[in-house]
Amino acid sequence: MTWVTATTSVITGPMLSRRSVKARTGPWFLDLRRFLGGISVVFLITHMATLGADSFVDFGAKELFVPGASVWKPEAIAWGIIAAYLLVAIEVSSLLRRRINKHLWRVIHFSAFAAMISGSYHAYLAGSDVDKPIAWGIAGIGSLLVFGLISMRLPRPYPQDPNTAQLPAKNFGPPPLPEAADSEAGEPDKAAYTQWLKEWLVYAEKYGDEAPKDPSRAL
């Protein structure tokens, strides 16, 4: 349950970064993501508490909190502890978002992907349900969704026009405002301006707040 809720929370992150999703869902989708993150920590605490109470393997505080200290499947437990620390850090940073540096918050939140990978490897090595088809189905669908959304968030050179696709890297950025067709009026050609506006909207939809800052390109 910790893996399912945490992975679902990771999936909703890139979705929330798209303005079209924000406009259609409203604040409830953000509340859902916050709930998933919080409930993941609750499931994590329950998981660790039941391990401490388990009589089959002797888990003390050292084995639960120090990577590599466990005698039973040390590699698996180490990756689980790393994932747990990352998950808690992400949740705490969410609660303190208004009080910490925005760049630091982003760095911590991007570690959610590392937490998901670490948790998945931990479950693969030590999980009791890894041999069941339903577990593989859930893990496979969740992983495909996460990596698919990550690929959508990777930066791409803006120009989609084949005539400008080979522009050098310094031209990466929003499309420039077309030159004025009439030097006296100082206004661009209407057709060129319409095309520029369409390209700019596509750029804004794709990158949003993540748009690269390039002072050499003026809007």
Residues 14 and 72 grouped into a single domain: yes
Q: How large a percentage of the chain has pLDDT more than 70? A: 68
For the four alpha carbons of 23, 28, 34 and 40, in that order, the dihedral sign comes to: negative
Structural domain boundaries enclosing 33: 2-153
> Among 104, 124, 153, where does a domain finish?
153
- pLDDT, tens digit, 9 for 90 and up, residues 113-141: 888 888 888 988 887 777 788 877 877 88
Which tokens go with 205? 């939809």
Is this model's pTM higher than 0.85 or not? no
Confidence at residue 187, expressed as pLDDT on a 0 to 100 scale: 55
- Number of folded domains in the chain? 2
pLDDT value of residue 42: 93
Q: In angstroms, rounded to a whole number, what is the distance separating the alpha carbons of residues 24 and 27? A: 10
Q: Which of these three, 135, 153, 171, is where a domain ends?
A: 153
The answer on 203 and 107 residing in a single domain is no
User: Is the CB of residue 14 less than 8 Å from the CB of residue 152?
Assistant: yes
Identify the band that residue 23 occupies on the pLDDT scale cut at 50, 70 and 90: low
Q: DSSP assignment, residue 213?
A: P
Q: Which of 125, 153, 181 is the last residue of a domain?
A: 153
Average pLDDT, the chain: 75
Whether the CB-CB separation of 89 and 32 falls below 8 Å is answered with no
